[in-house]
Each structure stands twice: as C-alpha cells, then as structure tokens.
Structure 1
C-alpha cells in the first residue's frame, strides 16, 4: 500500500504529484524545486535556491517521521555543470558522512527560472 506524504512547509503546486509517498519502509520524495510554501520561487542566488530545494526535501522526510540522516539515495538535476561545485558546498551543509548514494544529472528543468531539482529516497522502517 502506498501512502501520500504531505508537508505544510512545502508548496502545494497545481500538479498531479505528491510531495512524497511511503511504500513499505521507504519514503520516495518527489523532485523538489526552490518553491516557498506560498508557491513563490527562489531565483537569482543559486546557493539560496539550493538551500530552498534541500529545505523542501528535509520537510518531506520529516513529515514522514524521519531526518536527512535516513536518506539513502539522492538524485540531483542541474541545469549545467558550472553549478556542480556550488551545489556541493550547500549539499554538505545538509548531509554528513556517511553520505547517501547520489547521482547528478545535467538536464533542462520544467521552469526556465529553475536551475536545480532534487529527489530523494529515505529508509524509514515501521516500528
């Protein structure tokens, strides 16, 4: 059975996707963008954009009852390779060793103002 995960700290966009879903002992966080809870988008400062995205990932994991330490896999989508280093600087503020497995993919994003999107998987065994 799949349960929808909703966080009041993440914008509810008018799209057919949840913030995340729980399937057994795993929580799958949908791709998060730099949207504030009011739906406005963080633009201009890439590190602020990355923090907003990771704050959203964290909010969804916490809504499911976990922390970022429970995240076992992250996929980062970047607009271009020049953003890799600044993304890593901010990423290291949120995750510590042992780091989750990670893939980074260069890809155009759905909104021309967006430069980063992150999805994650957390392992949260039911007690």
Structure 2
C-alpha cells in the first residue's frame, strides 16, 4: 500500500486527519474532495461547487497516476436533495462512462460545503 501525499487544495498543510489518496494493487482510493477554490473559498452556487469538487478530484487522481476516465465507483455527498439535478448535470459531463455510484444527503459541519466526492479508480498502466 502506498500513501499519496502533496499539498491538496484547500487543506491546511500538515493535516494529520487524512491523506488525499492511497494506492493498493493497482487501485486508487481517494479521500473526499470538496468544491473549494485555490484560496479555500466555496462558491454559493452548487453547480460551481460541483465543478470545483470534480476538478479537485481530478487533481487527486492525476497525482495518483489515474484520471476521471479510470473511476470505478463514486461516493457523492450533497447537502440538499433539491440540488441533485444540478449536481447530476455537471457530474454527467465528467463521468460519461457511468461508474458505480452512491449518493447520500448529509449535513456538513461546514455549512459552506454543498458537495463532496470520493472515489475508487484504477491506476494508469
């Protein structure tokens, strides 16, 4: 098992609670990626947050020798079920191969967060 480390967007340097990803037997397991920008700010629009969360996930995968096209399973968290259609509209642009997915409505401790994604993906050869 290999831990993948670097300075992740919006995560304080030296965060001891999580690793951006772990790799094992050709698979990448990511931690959750939220929709914040490089300064750590969260847009109020759920579609914008979804775009940023997927961009942050793509960055995590790139640094783990993988990519969005290699995703096998997504666990998606949203704060408001009424936002599901907007989230799905953005999500479908990046995951046309329709990986397995679960979607859970949650109450985030940080009220600015509207969406979070984690995944399991294959490594590139």
TM-score range, shorter chain: 0.7 to 0.9
Matched, 1:90 2:109: no
Q: Which runs of 5+ in 1 are unaligned?
A: none
Superposition pairs for residues 30-69 of structure 1, below 5 Å? 30-38=31-39, 40-69=40-69
What's the TM-score, normalizing by structure 1? 0.87
1:121 corresponding residue in structure 2: 120
Q: Which runs of 5+ in 2 are unaligned?
A: none
Question: Per-residue displacement from partner, 1:59-83 (whole Å, max 9, x unpaired)?
Answer: 1111111111110000101112101
Question: Per-residue displacement from partner, 1:29-53 (whole Å, max 9, x unpaired)?
Answer: 1011122233x22221111111110
- Cα offset, 1:109, TM superposition: 1.1
Counting matched residue pairs gives 123
User: Is the CA contact 2:4–2:63 (under 8 Å) kept in the aligned structure 1?
Assistant: yes
What's the TM-score, normalizing by structure 2? 0.88
Q: Distance in 2 between matches of 1:19 and 1:37?
A: 16
- Match of 2:31, SS state, is strand
CA RMSD of aligned residues (A): 1.7
2:72 corresponding residue in structure 1: 72
- Match of 2:56, SS state, is helix
